Structure 1
Amino acid sequence: MTQGVTEISGKVYELHMLIFYICCAIALVVFGAMFYSIINHRKSKGAVAAHFHESTKVEIIWTIIPIVILVLMAIPATKTLIAMEDTTQSDLTVKITGSQWKWHYSYFDQGVEFYSLLATSQKEIDGEAPKGAHYLLEVDNPLVLPINRKVRFLMTSDDVIHSWWVPDFAVKKDTIPGFINEAWTRIDEPGVYRGQCAELCGKAHGFMPIVVHAMSEDDYDAWLEEKKVELAQAQEDAAASLTVSLSMDELMASGEKVYLDRCSVCHQANGAGIPGAFPAIKGSKVVTGDLDEHINIIVNGRPGTAMQAFANQLTDQEIAAVTTYQRNGFGNDTGDLVQASDVNAFKVQEQASKEGE
Structure 2
Amino acid sequence: MRLKTHFLGLMAALAATPAMAQELETIGKPTLGGTGFQTAATELARDLQWLEHMLMWIIVPIVILVVALLLVVILRFNRKSNPKPATFTHNSPLEVAWTIVPILILLFIGAFSLPTLFKQQVIPEGDIHIQVTGYQWYWGYEYTDSEDLAYEGFLLPREDLASYGYNDDEYLLATDSAIILPVGKTVVMTVTGADVIHSWTVPAFGVKQDAVPGRFAQLWFTPEQEGIYFGQCSELCGKDHAYMPITVKVVSQEVYDAWLAASEEAGGFVPLSELPAV
For 1:209, the equivalent position in structure 2 comes to: 245
Counterpart code for 1:22: I
Cα distance change of structure 1 residues 123 and 7 upon mapping to structure 2, 3 Å threshold: closer
Contact 2:158-2:171 at 8 Å conserved across structures: no
Cα distance change of structure 1 residues 172 and 30 upon mapping to structure 2, 3 Å threshold: same
For 2:33, the equivalent position in structure 1 comes to: none
For 1:118, the equivalent position in structure 2 comes to: 155
Task: Give 5+ residue unaligned stretches, structure 1.
Answer: 125-130, 235-357
For 1:143, the equivalent position in structure 2 comes to: 179
Root-mean-square deviation over aligned CA pairs: 2.5
For 2:58, the equivalent position in structure 1 comes to: 22
Tell me which of 107, 118, 124 is aligned to 1:82.
Answer: 118
For 1:162-189, what per-residue CA distance to the aligned partner results, in whole angstroms no more than 9, with x for missing partners?
1111111111111011100110111111
Counterpart code for 1:119: L
In 1, Cα distance between equivalents of 2:155 and 2:74 = 57
In 2, Cα distance between equivalents of 1:233 and 1:33 = 61
Contact 1:87-1:182 at 8 Å conserved across structures: yes
The answer to whether 1:33 aligns with 2:69 is: yes
In 1, Cα distance between equivalents of 2:158 and 2:38 = 29
In 2, Cα distance between equivalents of 1:233 and 1:75 = 44
Tell me which of 213, 220, 228 is aligned to 1:184.
Answer: 220
Alignment of 1:150-189 (within 5 A): 150-189=186-225
Alignment of 1:275-314 (within 5 A): none
The answer to whether 1:55 aligns with 2:91 is: yes
Task: Give 5+ residue unaligned stretches, structure 2.
Answer: 1-36, 162-166, 271-278
Counterpart code for 1:52: F
The answer to whether 1:93 aligns with 2:165 is: no
In 2, Cα distance between equivalents of 1:233 and 1:32 = 59
In 1, Cα distance between equivalents of 2:76 and 2:269 = 82
Q: Which has the higher strand share?
A: 2
For 1:291, the equivalent position in structure 2 comes to: none
Tell me which of 99, 102, 111 is aligned to 1:66.
Answer: 102
Contact 2:233-2:242 at 8 Å conserved across structures: yes
| TM-score, with structure 1 as normaliser | 0.59
In 2, Cα distance between equivalents of 1:150 and 1:22 = 33
In 2, Cα distance between equivalents of 1:170 and 1:101 = 23
Contact 2:76-2:82 at 8 Å conserved across structures: no
Contact 2:154-2:175 at 8 Å conserved across structures: yes
Q: CA deviation at 1:216?
A: 1.5
In 1, Cα distance between equivalents of 2:89 and 2:78 = 21
Contact 1:3-1:13 at 8 Å conserved across structures: no
SS at match of 1:133: helix
Counterpart code for 2:242: G
Counterpart code for 1:139: T
Q: CA deviation at 1:142?
A: 0.4
Counterpart code for 2:56: F
For 1:39-83, what per-residue CA distance to the aligned partner results, in whole angstroms no more than 9, with x for missing partners?
466676678643212233222211111111111111111010001
| TM-score, with structure 2 as normaliser | 0.75
Cα distance change of structure 1 residues 233 and 93 upon mapping to structure 2, 3 Å threshold: closer
Contact 1:92-1:149 at 8 Å conserved across structures: yes
Cα distance change of structure 1 residues 107 and 57 upon mapping to structure 2, 3 Å threshold: same
